[in-house]
A and B are shown apart, each in its own frame.
Chain A
Amino acid sequence: KAGVTQTPRYLIKTRGQQVTLSCSPISGHRSVSWYQQTPGQGLQFLFEYFSETQRNKGNFPGRFSGRQFSNSRSEMNVSTLELGDSALYLCASSLSLAGGGDTQYFGPGTRLTVL
């Protein structure tokens, strides 16, 4: 079974631009979560989608948004990029919203650098 895939793996953008990151979950998984990883703040939860609906949201400004498609693939978008948005963005998929009962599988991440 193929794992979680994220595209692109690396991105360089400039301040003020917007960016879209993509995540394809493991086949059959319906829940997708996004996390931001930075040296200063560590791993922080962004949001979670299940059946095309956002089910949970972390403490991030409205510039961060996401969506999920009917095939469970998910995208996240960051508008008006700031230097502090430079981070590794990780996507995780699981079968359902079982709150830990289902293992979450992480992708390799997208490394975003904002100049």
Chain B
Amino acid sequence: AQSVTQLDSQVPVFEEAPVELRCNYSSSVSVYLFWYVQYPNQGLQLLLKYLSGSTLVKGINGFEAEFNKSQTSFHLRKPSVHISDTAEYFCAVIPPGIKAAGNKLTFGGGTRVLVKP
């Protein structure tokens, strides 16, 4: 079984400052890793995903994440945030392969980012 821990439930940050959202996972098998964003009163939107290859993954809206296998982490970063980045961010995993879990995502508890002017 997999579990995902997002170490910060809330992260206040000033506009144009950098932000890092931490995500650690535990799994007995290798996993695919995802970051989703949820704006108020909306569904989830995929920011980026790691399946294999380069450990630095670039996503939409200037976000990037780095996969660290030895630390079982997948932290999300943005060098300069905007007011519009105020949202909740979710880290998620899937074990690869159809037989393992299909498309079942296991989510972390979420991190609320509040960007202040």
Please give the residue numbers on chain A whose beta carbons come within 8 Å of chain B beta carbons, in ascending order.
4, 31, 33, 35, 42-45, 48, 50, 55-56, 58, 90, 92, 94, 97-109
Stretch at the interface among B12-20, B74-82, B92-100: B92-100
Given A44-B107, A99-B103, A100-B32; 14 other pairs, CB 8 A cutoff: A33-B104, A43-B105, A56-B102, A98-B98, A99-B95, A99-B96, A99-B100, A99-B102, A100-B103, A101-B32, A104-B46, A104-B105, A106-B43, A107-B43
> Which residues of chain B have C-beta atoms less than 8 A from A106's C-beta?
36, 43-45
- Complex A-B: 27 CB contacts under 8 Å: A4-B43, A33-B104, A42-B109, A43-B92, A43-B105, A48-B103, A48-B104, A56-B101, A56-B102, A56-B103, A90-B43, A97-B102, A99-B94, A99-B95, A99-B97, A99-B100, A99-B102, A99-B103, A100-B32, A100-B34, A104-B103, A106-B44, A107-B43, A108-B42, A108-B43, A109-B42, A109-B43
